[in-house]
Copies of this chain bind each other. A is one copy, B any other.
């Protein structure tokens, strides 16, 4: 598939205008677009403008209730529980992490959970919000079930990412990954390319390992069972029960504490209903923020400089690839594939917008 480079500013301006036309305020459209664009800048194509049409379709179908405001159900100096009332996930999540940060700045810690939300983009965006304020940030979300528990054959957990960010020099620590071996999007890429899946990624409808991306996705989409394996694979030999356990920790910090929908109930009957969790922690409550930052920076540097395995070019610390991708995209434009560009054009036509960058 052909890729084009689109100037970041043009794509951002288009995105902001499109969400304003769809009914959001200037500020809301700015937040939604910022989450989407950061994903593309970080080189995470799956969660960037590739989802643009999906978000606009969900607004049109009513899955995302654009006029619903997030409501605070319970609040303490260190916590809050919010109900997003099926509004835009990015807005509920942004507000929640802002609250967690304010609480952390006052008491040292802020933990906010949200129920009845929608897809919130990359988990890392919100962890990074805390990090940019000098805090340790964590972000969790459940999602429509795709992960089969160890020994099971039906998906019962979502891809359930955990993101964690903490200030460091010259590059912040930023970890953001699903607790499954891979994500749904990766299987779709393999299907498009007609490639066999690596063993250890997915199960078919009988619960047997399958390398046939088409079969796995067809079964999954038809609700016939099968799905993606937890990090660690199909059994306990390589630690599949651990990935399943991390997925459960995400459910606890999102759907369980908020009394929201667990992943097995999300994305059913025309609503999503996924739940998020956000944690912000001020390192100053443990010691000196700057000393702690230096301590982490030195450790990360040691890891990057340690001896490489045979045939390996470089040891990365988490967050480096994202920063390098961002430098590339800001200089040369965001990589957008042909199909996504066509979808953007469709959205533009529907909203009677000009998309002259296309």
Q: Which A residues are closer than 8 A to B by beta carbons?
A: 73-74, 76-79, 81, 107-109, 111, 113, 136, 148-154, 156, 162, 164, 166, 173, 175, 177, 179, 181-182, 198, 200-201, 203, 206-208, 225, 231-234, 237-239, 241-246, 248-249, 251-252, 255-259, 262, 264, 281, 283, 285-287, 291-292, 295-296, 299, 302-303, 306-310, 312-318
Contacts and interface: CB of A to CB of B under 8 A. Distances in A.
Contacts of A292: 256-257, 259
A81 to B, nearest CB: 5
A205 to B, nearest CB: 10
A166 B252 contact: yes
B299 A256 contact: yes
B299 A262 contact: yes
Contact of A299 (B251, B295, B316): B251
A207 B307 contact: yes
B299 A238 contact: no
Given A78-B78, A109-B78, A241-B318, A207 B308 contact: yes
A309 B208 contact: yes
A316 B78 contact: no
A78 B108 contact: yes
A206 B179 CA distance: 29
A156 B81 contact: no
**Total copies of this chain within the assembly:** 2
B173 A252 contact: yes
A206 to B, nearest CB: 5
A108 B81 contact: no
A182 B287 contact: no
A300 to B, nearest CB: 9
Given A78-B109, A198-B237, A225-B307, A150 B252 contact: no
A177 B78 CA distance: 28
Given A245-B175, A310-B206, A312-B151, A257 B286 contact: yes
Contacts of A312: 151-152, 207
B242 A148 contact: no
B151 A309 contact: yes
Contacts of A252: 136, 164, 166, 173, 296
A41 B63 CA distance: 49
Contacts of A207: 307-310, 312
Contact of A156 (B164, B238, B306): B306
